[in-house]
């Protein structure tokens, strides 16, 4: 059973204004911390809050009740690695190691779970985790480590995503050029 850390509620709104109003109500209704609150293309809003299981469930209930038809999707994910939560917050940016793996999905909750599986199953670190932001609506994460670890982490995450019909693509790059990540970050569209 999950403790007080690593529990999040993810809510995607069809409306930016409704997303902002409901996010404020979620933060006031439950003892949760805002991990991410951001606009998505086109004209949507994403909220992720963290807290103990009861608090994130209360925040989700508040979002569902007050958001009504403007809630596109909402879910609770429990027991995830702190590094995944940090990556959601934009605190990943690890230096590249021997290899990188890229995993892509259109389902945010499953991708968050897959990132957690990657970290729990092999000695890898998250370089980037992007949830439905930028051009298009796909979400992805990038991990780094030695080739065997990246292959193992990707194999386990891909198995999880495939079972749920949520895998869009994945690739492993052995010995990436050191400029790859620098250009990757600057070339991403943040519309």
Question: Once rounded to an integer, what is the mean pLDDT over residues 175-185?
Answer: 69
pTM: 0.79
Reading the block at residue 83, the tokens are 């590094």
**Could you count the other beta carbons within 10 Å of the beta carbon of residue 176?**
16
Residue 130 token pair: 């992007």
Q: What is the CA radius of gyration of the chain?
A: 16
Q: Bridge partners of 39? A: 45
Per-residue pLDDT tens digits for 95-148: 778 899 999 988 887 888 899 999 999 999 998 888 876 555 678 999 999 999
| Higher per-residue confidence, 183 vs 138 | 138
Going from the N-terminus, what domains does the chain have, and what CATH number goes with each?
Answer: 8-77 (3.30.70.1710), 92-187 (3.30.70.1710)
Neighbours of 118 (CB within 10 A): 30
Q: Which residue has the tokens 């293309």?
A: 41
């Amino acid at each position: 059973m999950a403790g007080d850390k690593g529990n999040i509620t993810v809510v995607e709104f069809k409306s930016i204004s409704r997303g902002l109003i409901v996010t404020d109500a979620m933060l006031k209704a439950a003892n949760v911390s805002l991990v991410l609150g951001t606009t998505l293309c086109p004209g949507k809003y994403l909220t992720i809050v963290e807290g103990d299981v009861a608090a994130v469930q209360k925040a989700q209930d508040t979002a569902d009740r007050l958001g009504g038809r403007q809630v596109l999707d909402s879910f609770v994910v429990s027991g995830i690695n702190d590094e995944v939560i940090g990556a959601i917050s934009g605190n990943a940016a690890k230096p590249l190691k021997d290899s990188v793996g890229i995993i892509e999905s259109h389902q945010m909750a499953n991708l968050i779970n897959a990132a957690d599986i990657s970290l729990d199953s092999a000695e890898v670190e998250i370089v980037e985790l992007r949830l439905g932001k930028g051009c298009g609506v796909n979400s992805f994460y990038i991990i780094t480590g030695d080739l065997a670890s990246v292959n193992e982490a990707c194999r386990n995450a891909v198995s999880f995503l495939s079972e749920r019909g949520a895998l869009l693509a994945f690739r492993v790059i052995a010995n990436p050029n050191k400029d790859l990540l620098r250009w990757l970050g600057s070339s991403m569209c943040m519309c």
